[in-house]
Amino acid sequence: MSKPPSLGCIPMSERGKVEGIVLIPEPVESKLNERELVSYKKHRERFIRWLATQGKEPEALEGYAEDTYSTYATIVSKFHRDIWEANGGFTLELSQEQAENYLRDMVLSNDYSDSHLHNTKLALKAYFRFKQNEWNPDIVIPSTSRASQPRDYVSEQERKALREAVLEYGSVPAYAALRPEKRTEWKRELARRFGKPTSEIGREDWKKANGYKYITILYTSLDAGLRPVEVGRAKTYWIDRENEVLRIPAKDSSKNEDNWTVSLRSDTIEYLNLWLEERKLYDKYENTEHLWLTRHENPYRGKSLKVLLDNLRGIAGIERELTWYTLRHSTGTYMAREEGLAAAQAQLRHQREETTMKYDNVPPKRRKDALEKIG
């Protein structure tokens, strides 16, 4: 089952990606020949697209969140490799019996966390749904599984620390306040940061370095509980400056079923106003309504946001791991505490709580006041 030596290794740039996921992981590449790789690549591409666009609720065309479908794709890829290894050859016709034995062996081995076992069970169930062959294993994951516990969220103190950290993140000293030798050092740093020659670094680059993009990404996400995909989809026309809210139309919503009005803090609106003015200075925004783009001119995704969050928690002195969803979960947790469940559901745009959301009588102004309290 090894690949002919003449093929060599496929460069990462040629492996291809779908929904941000590499189609041919390196461990797979080493196990398959050229024709098997073609078959596997097509199969995996269809599976990943299905996870991202309809895996969660196929009939409603509702996909999983990026973090979830990325995890499931990784788990299923390892399932394939382990079955090939055990059975001596490549195949895409995997049975429910193989999946049941695979999961049972993992449980009995005591080598895996309950959280990983739970995710493996869900990933394999999703895979058989994709194959239009529903699988409902009798194997019960221990009740101590993290999946059955309350979701992790950022504490009030951590929220405030992150807000302070982003004000510091990437900032540089005032141009006029620097001695010539220090100014030269900072020019080299900005040349590295912006990918341009040191000789071309000027005062405008100082303004960029002390800009408002990262501040608005974090502040808006903390207020609105933005999912990573919503950060990527955010548009300039979402911002209602006068009423200090985001107005997310159904066509841009991650659930794509309803219009949403989401409250924002006053300082968030102030920073957004400054960012909208600054944004006009950058050529990459000239022909797009995307509110934020990465330095490579792409909409933000989970991985790029994870890099930002890791940098911010380092500045904030937060030692534990955080994900973008922990920001969202904290907004929901504290909003519910301050204003009740209906307000939290409205602020977080929970599509599955239609009945409860009918009783949301907490207006945006009161939700904004709650945000001021929780930080």
Q: What is the pLDDT of residues 84-102, one digit of tens each?
A: 988 888 999 999 999 999 9
**Where do the H-state alpha helices sit in 169-242?**
180-194, 203-209, 213-224, 228-233
Q: Give SS3 for 246.
A: strand
What's the burial of 231, exposed, middle or buried (CB within 10 Å: 0-12/13-18/19+)? buried
Neighbours of 233 (CB within 10 A): 19
Residues of the chain with CATH 1.10.443.10: 156-171+210-374
Whole-Å CA distances, 105 to 6, 22, 72, 271, 298: 37, 28, 19, 53, 42
Residues in the chain: 375
pLDDT of 144 higher than 50? no
**Domain 156-171+210-374 sits in CATH 1.10.443.10:** yes
**pLDDT score for 336:** 73
Q: What value does the mean pLDDT of the chain take?
A: 82
Q: How far apart are CA 345 and CA 208, in angstroms?
A: 36
**pLDDT score for 39:** 93
Say if pTM beats, i.e. exceeds, 0.75.
no
Q: pLDDT of 228-279, one tens digit each?
A: 889 999 999 999 999 999 998 877 766 556 678 889 999 999 999 989 988 8
**pLDDT score for 255:** 55
Task: Dump the DSSP string for 90-127.
Answer: --S---HHHHHHHHHHHHHHT-S-HHHHHHHHHHHHHH
Q: How far apart are CA 324 and CA 114, in angstroms?
A: 22
> Measured between alpha carbons, how far apart are the two ends of the chain, in Å?
57
Q: How far apart are CA 104 and CA 311, in angstroms?
A: 39
- Residue 350 banded pLDDT, cuts 50, 70, 90: low
Q: pLDDT of 277-335, one tens digit each?
A: 888 878 899 999 999 999 889 999 888 899 999 999 999 999 888 888 889 888 887 77
